[in-house]
Structure 1
Amino acid sequence: MTGAVVAFACLFLGLILQKVPRFSAENAANWVQTYLIYIVLPALALLYIPKINPSWNLLLPISAAWFTFLLSWGIFGYLGKKLNWGRNVTGCLIIVAGLANTSFLGFPVIEGLYGKEGLPLALLIDQGGSFLLVSSLSILVGSLYGNHQESLAKVPLRILKFPPFGFLAGTLAMSILQIPTPEILLPFLEFVGKTMPPMALLVIGLRFSLDMEAITSRFFWYGMGYRLILAPAMVALIYTNWMDSQSLEYKVTVLESGMAPMITGSIIAIQFGLQPKLATLLSGLGMPISAITLGVWYLILG
């Protein structure tokens, strides 16, 4: 609870700093964003990924995050090309709507609704799904749709040079080979990892601006509709073929698929120049809006 209070205090701090004369909110946001991408994401990878023990039994809950991201890519990629939305808008929707806030929002929601029994599943979905995605496929989408001049042949090199991806590859190898993270590093990595929610919300606060044009934009509601309604609906319909619809695993998997857009996903989108304002609104307003839809999904799941 204390962490959530601090995080939301940082959100309001960012909103306040926007109004301070001679204070460059844009420069501050860029500095914090750089810290998150180049330090915090690699630290989290080193902290959590080696702890995942690969098992076939874990694939179904984890695969839901990958399924909804790929579905987002398929839907928005097709519509963006068909309706000439522009590459930046399309890329933004793919990444931000495709990634759910399965940790900062997901952990307390799952624990509150299903108790501590649901937390290991939530952690699994987050680390094996959302976190791997934000460190891999989201970077690929950003490279393909973002503001860059290099040819597609240079995209793989761009991805390999992105620090979170390198740490992801290394920590995945550690997980497969069962090599633990050195214990001497754990206190430092845990400290750095705890700065993710407050610093991410600080970036949102520094960049957040609300106007009716943005709220009434069809792209905002396309993203919200996909993330909060369509994605969990598709998981609920499809995964009932392989999971018991009354099981805790099924309920947590569906509910995690309906979380608000991932804050880190919006930061990745911003890093690649993919509609920063839209990305900020989706992750910033997604949390309060999702309070309604998550309640509905909880009642539907029983």
Structure 2
Amino acid sequence: MTNLFLIVFFLLVGLLLQKLSFVPARLSEYLNTYLIYVVLPALALLYLPEVKLNLDLLLPIASAWISFFLSWLLFGFLGKHFSWPNSLTGCLIITAGLANTSFVGFPIVQALYGEEAVKIALLIDQAGSFIIVSSVAVVVASIYSTGKKRKRDISKKILTFPPFLFFVLAMGMNVFQIQIPQGLESILQLIAITLTPVALTAVGLQVKINLEAISSKFLWLGLSYKLILIPGIIYLLFSQVFGLEGLLFKVSVIEAAMAPMITGSIIAITHDLEPKLASLLVGVGIPLSFLTITGWYFLLA
């Protein structure tokens, strides 16, 4: 319960800072930059070289891919059946199909299950969510957007993203059994401690809820899939079909239950796929997910 309290506390700190006039308007951007360029690379170097690679890790990684492609299948079918605009269908596929497995996921997983769980979450995020949002999600956005289809250098985007570069470096260290020097490890541990307070404060700073728009049935359709249906599918599939147990199983379900990814909503917005709905799915989804994740946590206990 103490860990859940800390999660809520730092989220509220971010919400409170929104109301203070002396707080820099771009504080959330500064915090996100620190997370991307410092914390996420540090986590990769600290944890991934120690991960024992085995086939069991493929299932947690697969959870992110399952979530996205089931979203594409479901909302693609509903969009055709009910003759939704392509922009609406594309928005729901992308925003509901991608989980916030890093900025929200890492601190929550760390608080609930400890450092060992972060190692699993890193693999889910880097080998799952990040590659999807950088490649397949862009393809989906191009398919469903009404504007001119633009070719994008997806490989360049992936290879120049700092957390991914350090992910590759850390996995190389794992394969060749290269250890982090003790002095550097101490520094990385200090940086890792800042993950939960900084990430959740940044999320709190970015949460914007338009109370007039929360009556949208498409908002609740997308959030029902993201927060309830897909973690339920992962729960049943991994436990009943694949027999996954322990920490791998718990982290897979909890990460699948995360709110929609902020980056995913940005892709939808930049392709003019119902920008208001995309923003709302994140704005409502993040605070609401703290309640639903609590439910999944106690179910998994």
Question: Do the two structures share a fold, i.e. TM-score over 0.5?
Answer: yes
The AA in structure 2 aligned to 1:241 is V
What is the rounded CA distance, in whole Å, between the counterparts of 2:219 and 2:122 in structure 1? 27
| Corresponding residue of 1:163 | 162
The answer to whether the aligner puts 1:94 opposite 2:93 as a matched pair is no
Any conservation in 2 of the 1:96–1:282 contact (CA below 8 Å)? no
* Structure 1: gaps of 5 or more residues: 112-118
RMSD value, Cα: 3.9
The answer to whether the aligner puts 1:129 opposite 2:124 as a matched pair is yes
The AA in structure 2 aligned to 1:140 is S
What is the rounded CA distance, in whole Å, between the counterparts of 2:105 and 2:45 in structure 1? 19
| Corresponding residue of 2:176 | 177
2:258 equivalent among 260, 270, 273: 260
Matches within 5 A, 1:1-302: 8-21=8-21, 23-25=23-25, 27-76=26-75, 83=84, 84-86=86-88, 87=90, 90-96=93-99, 103-106=106-109, 108-109=111-112, 120=116, 122-123=117-118, 125-141=120-136, 143-144=138-139, 145=141, 151-239=150-238, 240-243=240-243, 248=246, 252=250, 255-256=253-254, 259-261=257-259, 265-266=261-262, 268-269=263-264, 274=269, 275-295=278-298, 297-298=299-300
For the structure 1 residues 106 and 194, does the alpha-carbon distance in structure 2 shift closer, same or farther, using more than 3 Å as the test?
Answer: same
* 1:97 positional shift: 6.8
* 1:206 positional shift: 1.4
Deviation per residue, 1:181-210 (Å, 9 max, x gap): 333211111221222221121122212233
> 3-state SS of the aligned residue for 2:243?
coil
For the structure 1 residues 132 and 59, does the alpha-carbon distance in structure 2 shift closer, same or farther, using more than 3 Å as the test?
Answer: closer
The AA in structure 1 aligned to 2:95 is C
Deviation per residue, 1:36-65 (Å, 9 max, x gap): 112211111111111112123443455444
Higher mean alpha-carbon deviation, 183-192 vs 98-107, is at 98-107
User: What TM-score does the superposition give when structure 2 sets the normalisation length?
Assistant: 0.74
* Structure 2: gaps of 5 or more residues: 270-277
* 1:96 positional shift: 3.0
Deviation per residue, 1:157-201 (Å, 9 max, x gap): 122122112111222222222222333211111221222221121
* 1:243 positional shift: 1.4
What is the rounded CA distance, in whole Å, between the counterparts of 1:140 and 1:18 in structure 2? 33
> 3-state SS of the aligned residue for 2:107?
coil
> 3-state SS of the aligned residue for 2:241?
coil
The AA in structure 2 aligned to 1:85 is S
> 3-state SS of the aligned residue for 1:41?
helix
* 1:286 positional shift: 0.6
The AA in structure 1 aligned to 2:135 is L
For the structure 1 residues 181 and 68, does the alpha-carbon distance in structure 2 shift closer, same or farther, using more than 3 Å as the test?
Answer: farther
Deviation per residue, 1:221-271 (Å, 9 max, x gap): 234322332223322443323317xx5468636743553337xx43x3466
Deviation per residue, 1:72-108 (Å, 9 max, x gap): 4554566678732355554333323788965433455
> 3-state SS of the aligned residue for 1:85?
helix
For the structure 1 residues 23 and 45, does the alpha-carbon distance in structure 2 shift closer, same or farther, using more than 3 Å as the test?
Answer: same
The AA in structure 2 aligned to 1:163 is P
The AA in structure 2 aligned to 1:208 is V
| Corresponding residue of 1:114 | none
What is the rounded CA distance, in whole Å, between the counterparts of 2:44 and 2:76 in structure 1? 28
Any conservation in 1 of the 2:96–2:225 contact (CA below 8 Å)? no
- Size of the alignment, in residue pairs? 284
Any conservation in 1 of the 2:64–2:129 contact (CA below 8 Å)? no
> 3-state SS of the aligned residue for 1:235?
helix
* 1:140 positional shift: 3.0
What is the rounded CA distance, in whole Å, between the counterparts of 1:140 and 1:132 in structure 2? 12
* 1:287 positional shift: 0.7
> 3-state SS of the aligned residue for 1:201?
helix
User: What TM-score does the superposition give when structure 1 sets the normalisation length?
Assistant: 0.73
- Work out the percentage of aligned pairs sharing the same amino acid: 27
The AA in structure 2 aligned to 1:130 is D
What is the rounded CA distance, in whole Å, between the counterparts of 1:183 and 1:149 in structure 2? 52
